[in-house]
């Protein structure tokens, strides 16, 4: 299933869903705003209950923000956050931001 929506502000929203025979569910959501930023979220739910989520945000100036989360069915949460410049070098992200993101992920699930 793929859904595309273009709103009056020129933002483009695309959602793709795929359900595999073995029960895995794959969802990818993309949002391109009028400033040229691209937001992509990819989710994969495994049949053993693990949930994998990767969120990417690409800025006009070439910086790439990536957050990867893996939630286990016993409640453990793994979160990795990185900010990459256009040459592929990892940029340091501040601790406050990381703490806030980790809290948000815990609240989402």
**Starting at the edge strand that comes first in sequence, how are the strands of the sheet with 77-84 ordered?**
2-6, 12-19, 25-32, 38-45, 51-58, 64-71, 77-84, 90-91
Bridge partners for 89 per DSSP: none
Residues 6+ apart with CB under 8 A from 13: 3, 4, 5, 6, 7, 29, 30, 31
Which one, of 57, 58, 51, lies nearest residue 108 by Cα? 51
- Residue pLDDT, tens place only, 21-71: 887 788 888 887 777 777 787 888 777 777 888 787 777 777 777 777 777
**pTM exceeds 0.95:** no
2-28 per-position pLDDT tens digit: 777 887 777 788 888 888 888 778 888
Q: What gap in Å lies between CA 53 and CA 105, rounded to an integer?
A: 10
């Amino acid at each position: 299933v793929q859904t595309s929506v273009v709103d009056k502000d020129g933002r483009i929203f695309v959602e793709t869903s795929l359900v595999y025979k073995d029960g895995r569910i794959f969802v990818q959501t993309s949002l391109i705003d009028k400033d040229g930023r691209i937001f992509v979220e990819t989710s994969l739910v495994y049949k053993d209950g693990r949930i994998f989520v990767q969120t990417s945000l690409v800025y006009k100036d070439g910086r790439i923000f990536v957050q990867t989360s893996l939630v286990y069915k016993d409640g453990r949460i793994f979160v990795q956050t990185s900010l990459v410049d256009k040459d592929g070098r990892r940029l340091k992200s501040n601790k406050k931001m990381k703490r806030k993101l980790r809290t948000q992920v815990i609240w989402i699930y």
